[in-house]
Amino acid sequence: SQQGEEDPQALSIQEGENATMNCSYKTSINNLQWYRQNSGRGLVHLILIRSNEREKHSGRLRVTLDTSKKSSSLLITASRAADTASYFCATPMYSGGGADGLTFGKGTHLIIQP
Amino acid sequence: NAGVTQTPKFQVLKTGQSMTLQCAQDMNHNSMYWYRQDPGMGLRLIYYSASEGTTDKGEVPNGYNVSRLNKREFSLRLESAAPSQTSVYFCASGRTSGDLFGPGTRLTVL
């Protein structure tokens, strides 16, 4: 069963605006990852945040993790047309260590309007 | 350094036919994975291999078998394909900083 659920399912914004998407999960985790998938392509790893971290940055990306609420958010600042994609959060499937695979939500489909 | 490669990119099968999807990674990772992605869905884990010589079932293993041939290669076999196995299949290999995914195999079973 899917552990993570992204919200919203779809998001359309103007180029240059910020995009925020959220992920909620059900059980305790030791890390959470965000991936991007362009249409018809494989997944690209964006960022991993560990359970002892509250916030992490990578370029225009900012990820937060609130383990008490079992939720995470991904913020993309100053959006560009190339950011149009589906974004997935993923958490460890079983033991929490990650070596036994990930469980994914259904994703947020982000469209950046020029 | 090619990362994770998958063959074939596309395949059409008839119900009952068999085929093997190939995956290879050149990053010396211990763990490798097979996922499937259905329209409008996230990825679901089929099988994984935490290290060379070991394989384990994931969330949706029925109808599939896997072989971890060596550290580089992890193959997925459909013995008797069914229309419900129409999907996009992704192989991945594991890093502690986040997994790397192959480009996918788009499989249609008629």
Sort out which chain B residues have CB atoms less than 8 A from A86's CB and list them.
none
Task: Tell me, yes or no, if A2 comes closer than 8 A to chain B by beta carbon.
Answer: yes
Nearest CB to B97 within list A41, A48, A106? A48
Residue B94: per-residue pLDDT = 87
Q: Give the pLDDT confidence of B34-88 residue by residue, as tens digits.
A: 999 998 788 999 999 999 989 999 999 999 999 998 999 999 999 999 999 999 9
Amino acid, single-letter form, for residue A72: S
Return the half-sphere exposure (C-beta side, CA atoms, 13 A cut-off) of residue B74. Answer: 33
Contact A44 B101 (CB under 8 A): yes
C-alpha to C-alpha distance for B27 and A17, rounded to whole angstroms: 37
Burial (CB count <10 Å: 0-12, 13-18, 19+), residue B94: buried
Task: Tell me, yes or no, if A45 comes closer than 8 A to chain B by beta carbon.
Answer: yes
Sort out which chain B residues have CB atoms less than 8 A from A93's CB and list them.
45, 58-59
pLDDT band for position A74 (50/70/90)?
very high
The answer to whether the CB of B27 falls within 8 A of the CB of B17 is: no
Q: Give the pLDDT confidence of A25-69 residue by residue, as tens digits.
A: 998 888 999 999 998 788 999 999 999 999 999 999 999 999 999
Q: Give the pLDDT confidence of B24-41 residue by residue, as tens digits.
A: 999 999 999 999 999 878
Nearest CB to B90 within list A43, A98, A99? A43
Residue A5: per-residue pLDDT = 85
Nearest CB to A88 within list B31, B42, B98? B42
Residue B16: per-residue pLDDT = 97
DSSP 8-state symbol, A82: G
The answer to whether the CB of A30 falls within 8 A of the CB of A97 is: yes
The answer to whether the CB of B4 falls within 8 A of the CB of B25 is: yes
3-state secondary structure of A83: helix
Chain B, nearest residue to A36 by Cα = B101
Amino acid, single-letter form, for residue A2: Q
Task: Tell me, yes or no, if B102 comes closer than 8 A to chain A by beta carbon.
Answer: yes
Amino acid, single-letter form, for residue B81: A
pLDDT of A1 above 70: no
